[in-house]
Amino acid sequence: MLRQITNLAWKELLQLRRDRFLILFLILAPSLQLILISRNTAQGLKDLPVAVLDQSRTAISREIVHALDNTRELKIAYYPDNRRQLNDLLLSGDAKVAVVIPPDFSRSFFRTTETAQIQALADGTNILIGSNAGAVVEGVIGQVVKRHFGTRVSASLGGIQVETSALFNPAINYQWFAIPSTLAFITYQVALVIAATGFVREKELGTMEQLIITPIRKFELILGKALPAILLGIFNFLLLMAVQTYGYGIPLRGDFSLLLGIAVIFVTAIVAQGTVISVLTQSQQQAVLLVFLFAIFEVTISGYLVPLENMPLIMRALAEISALQHFMTVMRAVALRGADLSMIWQHVLAIVAFGAGMLLVAWNRLTRTV
Protein backbone atom coordinates (compact mmCIF):
# COMPACT_ATOMS: atom_id res chain seq x y z
CA MET A 1 0.00 0.00 0.00
CA LEU A 2 2.82 2.39 0.89
CA ARG A 3 4.47 1.77 -2.46
CA GLN A 4 1.27 2.56 -4.34
CA ILE A 5 0.80 5.78 -2.41
CA THR A 6 4.44 6.75 -3.03
CA ASN A 7 4.18 6.06 -6.76
CA LEU A 8 0.98 8.08 -7.03
CA ALA A 9 2.53 10.97 -5.11
CA TRP A 10 5.59 10.86 -7.39
CA LYS A 11 3.34 10.97 -10.45
CA GLU A 12 1.60 14.07 -9.07
CA LEU A 13 4.95 15.76 -8.49
CA LEU A 14 6.00 15.00 -12.07
CA GLN A 15 2.77 16.47 -13.39
CA LEU A 16 3.24 19.51 -11.18
CA ARG A 17 6.74 20.01 -12.54
CA ARG A 18 5.42 20.01 -16.10
CA ASP A 19 2.89 22.76 -15.27
CA ARG A 20 5.17 25.78 -15.56
CA PHE A 21 2.35 28.22 -14.90
CA LEU A 22 1.53 26.58 -11.57
CA ILE A 23 5.20 26.50 -10.55
CA LEU A 24 5.49 30.20 -11.37
CA PHE A 25 2.37 30.91 -9.30
CA LEU A 26 3.60 28.91 -6.28
CA ILE A 27 7.02 30.57 -6.24
CA LEU A 28 6.54 34.09 -7.55
CA ALA A 29 3.15 35.09 -6.14
CA PRO A 30 3.76 34.44 -2.39
CA SER A 31 7.27 35.88 -2.55
CA LEU A 32 6.11 39.01 -4.34
CA GLN A 33 3.25 39.55 -1.90
CA LEU A 34 5.51 39.16 1.16
CA ILE A 35 8.13 41.54 -0.23
CA LEU A 36 5.64 44.23 -1.23
CA ILE A 37 3.54 44.08 1.92
CA SER A 38 6.58 44.06 4.22
CA ARG A 39 7.99 47.04 2.31
CA ASN A 40 4.74 48.95 2.69
CA THR A 41 3.99 48.20 6.33
CA ALA A 42 7.52 49.02 7.41
CA GLN A 43 7.35 52.59 6.15
CA GLY A 44 4.60 53.98 8.38
CA LEU A 45 2.83 57.18 7.36
CA LYS A 46 4.45 59.22 4.63
CA ASP A 47 3.58 62.44 2.81
CA LEU A 48 -0.06 62.61 3.88
CA PRO A 49 -1.71 65.62 2.16
CA VAL A 50 -2.58 68.22 4.80
CA ALA A 51 -4.92 71.21 4.59
CA VAL A 52 -4.09 74.12 6.91
CA LEU A 53 -6.64 76.79 7.80
CA ASP A 54 -4.41 79.46 9.34
CA GLN A 55 -6.77 82.11 10.74
CA SER A 56 -4.01 83.64 12.85
CA ARG A 57 -1.49 84.42 10.10
CA THR A 58 1.25 85.34 12.55
CA ALA A 59 4.90 84.43 12.88
CA ILE A 60 4.23 81.63 15.36
CA SER A 61 1.45 80.10 13.24
CA ARG A 62 3.70 80.17 10.17
CA GLU A 63 6.44 78.51 12.23
CA ILE A 64 4.06 75.70 13.13
CA VAL A 65 2.94 75.25 9.51
CA HIS A 66 6.59 75.12 8.41
CA ALA A 67 7.37 72.54 11.10
CA LEU A 68 4.47 70.34 9.99
CA ASP A 69 5.61 70.52 6.37
CA ASN A 70 9.14 69.47 7.30
CA THR A 71 8.02 66.11 8.68
CA ARG A 72 8.28 62.85 6.78
CA GLU A 73 4.71 61.92 7.59
CA LEU A 74 2.94 65.13 6.53
CA LYS A 75 2.95 67.34 3.46
CA ILE A 76 1.14 70.69 3.40
CA ALA A 77 -0.85 70.60 0.17
CA TYR A 78 -3.77 72.99 0.66
CA TYR A 79 -4.40 76.38 2.24
CA PRO A 80 -8.19 76.82 2.25
CA ASP A 81 -9.63 80.28 2.90
CA ASN A 82 -12.50 79.18 5.10
CA ARG A 83 -13.99 76.26 6.98
CA ARG A 84 -16.27 75.28 4.08
CA GLN A 85 -13.35 74.79 1.71
CA LEU A 86 -11.57 72.80 4.40
CA ASN A 87 -14.58 70.49 4.85
CA ASP A 88 -14.85 69.98 1.08
CA LEU A 89 -11.20 68.90 0.92
CA LEU A 90 -11.79 66.36 3.69
CA LEU A 91 -15.06 65.09 2.17
CA SER A 92 -13.50 64.58 -1.25
CA GLY A 93 -10.49 62.80 0.25
CA ASP A 94 -8.01 65.24 -1.29
CA ALA A 95 -6.79 66.12 2.20
CA LYS A 96 -6.19 63.32 4.70
CA VAL A 97 -5.39 65.62 7.61
CA ALA A 98 -6.58 69.13 8.48
CA VAL A 99 -5.09 71.61 10.94
CA VAL A 100 -7.08 74.64 12.11
CA ILE A 101 -5.24 77.53 13.80
CA PRO A 102 -7.74 79.99 15.39
CA PRO A 103 -7.51 83.82 15.03
CA ASP A 104 -6.43 84.44 18.65
CA PHE A 105 -3.77 81.76 18.60
CA SER A 106 -0.71 84.01 18.87
CA ARG A 107 -2.10 86.02 21.78
CA SER A 108 -3.01 82.89 23.72
CA PHE A 109 0.32 81.23 22.96
CA PHE A 110 2.47 83.94 24.53
CA ARG A 111 0.24 84.68 27.53
CA THR A 112 1.23 82.79 30.65
CA THR A 113 -2.34 82.45 31.85
CA GLU A 114 -3.76 80.77 28.75
CA THR A 115 -3.17 77.71 26.61
CA ALA A 116 -3.51 78.15 22.87
CA GLN A 117 -5.81 75.78 21.01
CA ILE A 118 -5.19 73.99 17.70
CA GLN A 119 -7.58 71.55 16.08
CA ALA A 120 -6.25 68.51 14.18
CA LEU A 121 -8.67 66.47 12.09
CA ALA A 122 -7.71 63.13 10.55
CA ASP A 123 -9.53 61.02 7.97
CA GLY A 124 -10.94 58.15 10.03
CA THR A 125 -12.01 56.16 6.96
CA ASN A 126 -8.42 54.89 6.93
CA ILE A 127 -7.67 53.39 10.33
CA LEU A 128 -3.90 53.91 10.03
CA ILE A 129 -4.30 57.62 9.32
CA GLY A 130 -7.08 58.15 11.83
CA SER A 131 -5.18 56.58 14.70
CA ASN A 132 -1.71 58.01 14.04
CA ALA A 133 -1.94 61.34 12.23
CA GLY A 134 -3.12 63.22 15.33
CA ALA A 135 -0.15 61.95 17.32
CA VAL A 136 2.21 63.15 14.59
CA VAL A 137 0.71 66.66 14.71
CA GLU A 138 0.93 66.70 18.51
CA GLY A 139 4.59 65.63 18.39
CA VAL A 140 5.55 68.35 15.91
CA ILE A 141 3.75 71.08 17.84
CA GLY A 142 5.31 69.82 21.05
CA GLN A 143 8.74 70.49 19.56
CA VAL A 144 7.70 74.04 18.65
CA VAL A 145 6.49 74.65 22.19
CA LYS A 146 9.72 73.28 23.62
CA ARG A 147 11.79 75.69 21.49
CA HIS A 148 9.90 78.66 22.95
CA PHE A 149 9.31 77.57 26.53
CA GLY A 150 11.89 74.88 27.17
CA THR A 151 10.98 72.61 30.06
CA ARG A 152 8.79 75.22 31.78
CA VAL A 153 5.65 74.28 29.80
CA SER A 154 2.63 73.24 31.83
CA ALA A 155 -1.12 73.39 31.52
CA SER A 156 -1.13 76.85 33.15
CA LEU A 157 2.04 78.29 31.62
CA GLY A 158 1.65 78.97 27.92
CA GLY A 159 1.99 76.24 25.34
CA ILE A 160 -0.49 74.62 22.95
CA GLN A 161 -3.31 72.15 23.44
CA VAL A 162 -4.07 70.07 20.34
CA GLU A 163 -7.64 68.84 20.02
CA THR A 164 -7.47 65.78 17.79
CA SER A 165 -10.39 63.89 16.34
CA ALA A 166 -10.96 61.27 13.64
CA LEU A 167 -13.57 62.39 11.16
CA PHE A 168 -16.18 59.95 9.80
CA ASN A 169 -15.02 57.29 12.28
CA PRO A 170 -14.71 59.00 15.68
CA ALA A 171 -14.32 55.76 17.65
CA ILE A 172 -11.55 54.51 15.31
CA ASN A 173 -13.59 51.36 14.75
CA TYR A 174 -11.45 49.04 12.64
CA GLN A 175 -14.54 47.35 11.17
CA TRP A 176 -15.63 50.63 9.60
CA PHE A 177 -12.34 50.66 7.69
CA ALA A 178 -11.96 46.97 6.92
CA ILE A 179 -15.49 45.82 6.04
CA PRO A 180 -16.21 48.24 3.13
CA SER A 181 -12.84 47.30 1.63
CA THR A 182 -13.50 43.59 2.17
CA LEU A 183 -16.92 43.98 0.55
CA ALA A 184 -15.31 45.47 -2.54
CA PHE A 185 -12.65 42.75 -2.63
CA ILE A 186 -15.17 39.89 -2.31
CA THR A 187 -17.32 41.41 -5.05
CA TYR A 188 -14.19 41.60 -7.21
CA GLN A 189 -13.29 37.97 -6.58
CA VAL A 190 -16.79 36.58 -7.22
CA ALA A 191 -17.25 38.48 -10.49
CA LEU A 192 -13.73 37.62 -11.71
CA VAL A 193 -13.97 33.89 -10.93
CA ILE A 194 -17.36 33.48 -12.61
CA ALA A 195 -16.30 35.39 -15.73
CA ALA A 196 -12.87 33.72 -15.93
CA THR A 197 -14.39 30.24 -16.24
CA GLY A 198 -16.97 31.13 -18.90
CA PHE A 199 -15.24 30.53 -22.25
CA VAL A 200 -12.57 28.18 -20.91
CA ARG A 201 -15.29 25.81 -19.71
CA GLU A 202 -16.53 25.59 -23.29
CA LYS A 203 -12.98 24.71 -24.38
CA GLU A 204 -12.73 21.88 -21.88
CA LEU A 205 -16.14 20.50 -22.80
CA GLY A 206 -15.32 20.70 -26.50
CA THR A 207 -18.29 22.94 -27.27
CA MET A 208 -16.34 26.10 -28.10
CA GLU A 209 -16.34 25.31 -31.83
CA GLN A 210 -20.09 24.71 -31.79
CA LEU A 211 -20.60 27.99 -29.97
CA ILE A 212 -18.52 29.88 -32.53
CA ILE A 213 -20.38 28.54 -35.57
CA THR A 214 -23.81 29.35 -34.16
CA PRO A 215 -25.61 32.24 -35.94
CA ILE A 216 -24.69 34.82 -33.30
CA ARG A 217 -22.54 37.93 -33.50
CA LYS A 218 -19.40 38.31 -31.41
CA PHE A 219 -20.87 41.11 -29.34
CA GLU A 220 -23.91 38.98 -28.57
CA LEU A 221 -21.64 36.05 -27.68
CA ILE A 222 -19.57 38.13 -25.23
CA LEU A 223 -22.64 39.78 -23.72
CA GLY A 224 -24.48 36.47 -23.35
CA LYS A 225 -21.54 34.93 -21.49
CA ALA A 226 -20.94 38.06 -19.39
CA LEU A 227 -24.51 38.85 -18.35
CA PRO A 228 -24.89 35.99 -15.80
CA ALA A 229 -21.59 36.95 -14.18
CA ILE A 230 -22.68 40.60 -13.97
CA LEU A 231 -26.03 39.69 -12.42
CA LEU A 232 -24.43 37.36 -9.87
CA GLY A 233 -21.82 39.99 -9.04
CA ILE A 234 -24.50 42.63 -8.41
CA PHE A 235 -26.54 40.19 -6.32
CA ASN A 236 -23.44 39.43 -4.26
CA PHE A 237 -22.80 43.17 -3.80
CA LEU A 238 -26.37 43.82 -2.61
CA LEU A 239 -26.22 40.88 -0.21
CA LEU A 240 -22.93 42.07 1.29
CA MET A 241 -24.22 45.64 1.57
CA ALA A 242 -27.17 44.37 3.60
CA VAL A 243 -24.81 42.47 5.91
CA GLN A 244 -22.53 45.51 6.25
CA THR A 245 -25.35 47.95 7.01
CA TYR A 246 -27.71 45.88 9.12
CA GLY A 247 -25.37 43.22 10.46
CA TYR A 248 -22.43 45.41 11.49
CA GLY A 249 -24.15 48.78 11.77
CA ILE A 250 -21.73 50.55 9.42
CA PRO A 251 -23.39 53.78 8.26
CA LEU A 252 -24.27 54.58 4.67
CA ARG A 253 -23.99 58.36 4.66
CA GLY A 254 -24.05 58.80 0.89
CA ASP A 255 -26.57 58.09 -1.86
CA PHE A 256 -27.19 54.35 -2.21
CA SER A 257 -28.37 54.68 -5.82
CA LEU A 258 -25.06 56.38 -6.69
CA LEU A 259 -23.10 53.60 -5.00
CA LEU A 260 -25.17 50.91 -6.72
CA GLY A 261 -24.65 52.51 -10.13
CA ILE A 262 -20.89 52.62 -9.62
CA ALA A 263 -20.98 49.01 -8.40
CA VAL A 264 -22.67 47.97 -11.67
CA ILE A 265 -19.90 49.73 -13.63
CA PHE A 266 -17.23 48.09 -11.47
CA VAL A 267 -18.68 44.58 -11.76
CA THR A 268 -19.00 44.99 -15.53
CA ALA A 269 -15.35 46.06 -15.76
CA ILE A 270 -14.20 43.08 -13.68
CA VAL A 271 -16.31 40.70 -15.78
CA ALA A 272 -14.54 42.09 -18.85
CA GLN A 273 -11.21 41.34 -17.15
CA GLY A 274 -12.41 37.82 -16.35
CA THR A 275 -13.45 37.35 -19.97
CA VAL A 276 -9.90 38.18 -21.07
CA ILE A 277 -8.56 35.52 -18.68
CA SER A 278 -11.13 33.01 -19.92
CA VAL A 279 -10.24 33.57 -23.58
CA LEU A 280 -6.47 33.40 -22.98
CA THR A 281 -6.31 30.28 -20.79
CA GLN A 282 -6.75 26.66 -21.85
CA SER A 283 -8.19 25.12 -18.68
CA GLN A 284 -10.29 26.12 -15.71
CA GLN A 285 -7.37 25.31 -13.43
CA GLN A 286 -5.20 27.86 -15.22
CA ALA A 287 -8.00 30.42 -15.12
CA VAL A 288 -8.61 30.02 -11.38
CA LEU A 289 -4.89 30.17 -10.58
CA LEU A 290 -4.58 33.33 -12.63
CA VAL A 291 -7.52 34.81 -10.73
CA PHE A 292 -5.75 34.10 -7.43
CA LEU A 293 -2.56 35.66 -8.79
CA PHE A 294 -4.45 38.83 -9.69
CA ALA A 295 -6.17 38.79 -6.29
CA ILE A 296 -2.85 38.62 -4.43
CA PHE A 297 -1.50 41.47 -6.53
CA GLU A 298 -4.64 43.57 -6.02
CA VAL A 299 -4.53 43.11 -2.23
CA THR A 300 -1.06 44.60 -2.27
CA ILE A 301 -1.61 47.65 -4.50
CA SER A 302 -5.26 48.52 -3.90
CA GLY A 303 -4.86 50.13 -0.48
CA TYR A 304 -6.57 47.20 1.21
CA LEU A 305 -3.79 46.86 3.78
CA VAL A 306 -1.92 50.18 3.80
CA PRO A 307 -2.63 53.69 2.46
CA LEU A 308 -1.68 54.41 -1.12
CA GLU A 309 0.31 57.43 0.06
CA ASN A 310 2.60 55.03 1.90
CA MET A 311 3.52 52.99 -1.17
CA PRO A 312 6.57 53.36 -3.42
CA LEU A 313 6.09 55.47 -6.53
CA ILE A 314 5.92 52.50 -8.92
CA MET A 315 3.19 50.85 -6.83
CA ARG A 316 1.18 54.06 -6.68
CA ALA A 317 1.39 54.18 -10.46
CA LEU A 318 0.16 50.58 -10.72
CA ALA A 319 -2.66 51.37 -8.29
CA GLU A 320 -3.97 54.01 -10.69
CA ILE A 321 -4.86 51.29 -13.22
CA SER A 322 -6.45 49.06 -10.57
CA ALA A 323 -10.24 49.11 -10.79
CA LEU A 324 -10.40 47.55 -7.31
CA GLN A 325 -8.38 50.40 -5.80
CA HIS A 326 -10.72 52.98 -7.28
CA PHE A 327 -13.83 51.08 -6.17
CA MET A 328 -12.50 50.68 -2.61
CA THR A 329 -11.94 54.43 -2.53
CA VAL A 330 -15.49 55.01 -3.76
CA MET A 331 -16.91 52.61 -1.15
CA ARG A 332 -15.24 54.42 1.73
CA ALA A 333 -15.99 57.86 0.32
CA VAL A 334 -19.71 57.29 -0.29
CA ALA A 335 -20.46 55.06 2.71
CA LEU A 336 -18.42 56.83 5.39
CA ARG A 337 -17.84 60.38 4.13
CA GLY A 338 -21.11 60.82 2.22
CA ALA A 339 -19.29 61.95 -0.93
CA ASP A 340 -21.24 62.78 -4.09
CA LEU A 341 -20.34 62.20 -7.73
CA SER A 342 -18.51 65.53 -8.08
CA MET A 343 -16.00 64.32 -5.47
CA ILE A 344 -15.34 60.85 -6.90
CA TRP A 345 -15.83 61.22 -10.66
CA GLN A 346 -12.12 60.64 -11.34
CA HIS A 347 -12.35 57.19 -9.76
CA VAL A 348 -15.52 56.36 -11.71
CA LEU A 349 -13.85 57.45 -14.95
CA ALA A 350 -10.83 55.25 -14.17
CA ILE A 351 -13.10 52.21 -13.65
CA VAL A 352 -14.90 52.92 -16.94
CA ALA A 353 -11.55 53.23 -18.77
CA PHE A 354 -10.32 49.96 -17.25
CA GLY A 355 -13.49 48.13 -18.29
CA ALA A 356 -13.36 49.54 -21.82
CA GLY A 357 -9.73 48.46 -22.17
CA MET A 358 -10.46 44.93 -20.97
CA LEU A 359 -13.48 44.67 -23.27
CA LEU A 360 -11.36 45.73 -26.23
CA VAL A 361 -8.71 43.10 -25.43
CA ALA A 362 -11.39 40.40 -25.04
CA TRP A 363 -12.98 41.41 -28.35
CA ASN A 364 -9.69 41.28 -30.26
CA ARG A 365 -8.67 37.95 -28.72
CA LEU A 366 -12.05 36.37 -29.43
CA THR A 367 -11.82 37.62 -33.02
CA ARG A 368 -8.53 35.77 -33.44
CA THR A 369 -10.08 32.65 -31.92
CA VAL A 370 -12.97 32.79 -34.36
Rounded Cα distance, 112 and 156, in Å = 7
Residue 46 burial class via C-beta count within 10 angstroms: exposed 0-12, middle 13-18, buried 19 and up:
middle
Buried-exposed string 333-346: b where 16+ CB fall within 10 A, e elsewhere: bbbbbebeeebbee
What topology does CATH give the domain 48-167?
Answer: abc type-2 transporter like fold (3.40.1710)
Pairing of strands 116-123, 48-54: unpaired
Supply the mean pLDDT for the chain: 80
| Annotated domain spans of the chain | 48-167, 173-369
The answer to whether residues 277 and 291 touch, using CB atoms and an 8 Å cutoff, is yes
**Model confidence over 286-303: pLDDT tens digits?**
888 888 888 888 887 887
pTM across the whole model? 0.77
**Model confidence over 204-246: pLDDT tens digits?**
766 666 666 666 677 777 777 788 888 889 999 999 999 988 9
Confidence of residue 176 (pLDDT cuts 50, 70, 90): confident
Residues ≥6 apart with Cβ < 8 Å to 46: 72, 73, 309, 310
**pLDDT above 70 for 77:** yes
Q: In the prediction, which pLDDT does 155 show?
A: 43
Q: In the prediction, which pLDDT does 19 show?
A: 61
Confidence of residue 357 (pLDDT cuts 50, 70, 90): very high
